[in-house]
Structure 1
Amino acid sequence: MARIMRDAPSSSGLRFFKMHGLGNDFVVIDQRSGSGVVSPHVVRAIGDRHRGVGFDQLALIETDTQADARLTFYNADGSLSATCGNATRCVARHLMVETGRTAISLRTERGVLQCEDAGDGQTRVNMGQPMLGWADVPLARAMDTLELPLPGAPTGTGMGNPHCTFFVEDAEAVDLATFGPEHEHHPLFPERTNVQVAHLIGPDHLRMRVWERGTGVTLASGSSSCATAVAAARRGLTGRHVRIDLDGGTIDIDWRDDGVHMTGPTAHVFDGTLTSAFLTGAAK
């Protein structure tokens, strides 16, 4: 869990940088130097796209004794998320550029994830093995996760956070703004759930759109892409190595014996400083 130490910002403000992976955008705050630690109230204020900076998730970089760094993730509503695949790729790329290395390890609530430069500006992260048992997703009661007892018979998958994947005739036709929250808050999901709608484009090629719990519709989601690839393979719709077209671009997912490998581009957009006045107001 995040170590929330205090709400009071320093007089010099709080430095951050903005990154995105396929339009899935993040505010990243490097706390390895011991700079001010933000609270959920401040997270929500930073996430406001009109009065703050705006993001799908916020990632905190902290020191770790057994990995190159530890990551803690917040959703835009201030709630914690155990994992965030695209943010992990973004921070991995940032740290590889910073250190000149081509491989690093990052600790999340999911465990220690291995990250590497995949060439051509791409970054690969092994997101670990999917969790397929009902208690690990988690779901509210025992059931087969391949086809959940909901209209549309979606597949449940745990990737450190819960996922519910619907395979539909046309993902573009689904009103995610309504469909997403209806299922995010369904009683079947005690920790809420991320919601994906996907259809098959061609052999090992999927089109997917996503509603992220605590955030809403996003242009991409790394853990959702992993969950959708796993669900498609389990249902015999694809093999274990697929391309997924998201609203923000295309990602490569390869479910190997040692975990689900996710490969895609990242972008470092800008650096900034949150003023002490903004942080003081946000903390109230």
Structure 2
Amino acid sequence: MQFDDDADLDTSEVQDVRGSRIPGGRATMGGGIVGIIALVLGLFFGVGPDQLGLSSGDPDTTATASSAAQVQQSCLTGEDANTKDDCRTVAVVNSVQDYWRQEFARSGETYTPARTVLFSDRIGTACGSATSAVGPFYCPGDRQVYLDLGFFDELRTTFGSSGGPFAEAYVVAHEYGHHVQNQLGTLARAQDGRQGADSNSVKVELQADCYAGVWANHATTTPAESGRPLITELTEADIRDGLDAAAAVGDDRIQERFQGSVNPESWTHGSSEQRRQWFTTGFRTGDPSRCNTFR
């Protein structure tokens, strides 16, 4: 995955609070096996940690900026995105939101941007307080994506993904798929408390995978403000990395890895094959209307 070296990055779409002191209550879970279980339960979930029972303290606590705002100082151009991991995240956020702005506009609607908050260790959100153990998540309460960049190492070392820049981009695009669902009113379907292979929770997650694939289809053709696409190249190897990341976080693979058995009745995200299938559907068609996992 390559970015246009001369493109300007919009760092206003990313808030960097890594290293900040976050006010509010302490999260109830920590590292070790508790953290792993929380990660398995919360991974890529479409709602905030309060719905997962992982929050504590003041649910209205929000992140505050500090001198840790590295991306605002060092992520200025596409060249930075080609050389720095956090700047690459900024560029992916920009590209994903450029696509959805234009897609909504084609339908005569207005896309409301969502900010990504980069944090370390612990974060307070409108959905409650959480630690890095819950993995990346989207909070509908404040319409923000929360991401500890250290998760990408976990994706590779703990969950067996091949890794790579586009695997990381898939994660970001998936979370923004939840933001799109929130604007369209479909995200709430996942909050009925049901689990299982045919639950709305699984269908919402698979749709977010499909939306990530749709963005990938348009990533090298969606113009930024400069009039040129921010992403100049996606290779077949990049897409394979994205598919591998999707498969690595399938419910069946996670359960087999951590529990030694597979129980479809407790699924919340879908199987590895389903996640690959729906990302592929989005990528091959480039059409959000083909992402109706509820059909």
Q: TM-score, normalised by structure 2?
A: 0.33
Q: TM-score, normalised by structure 1?
A: 0.34
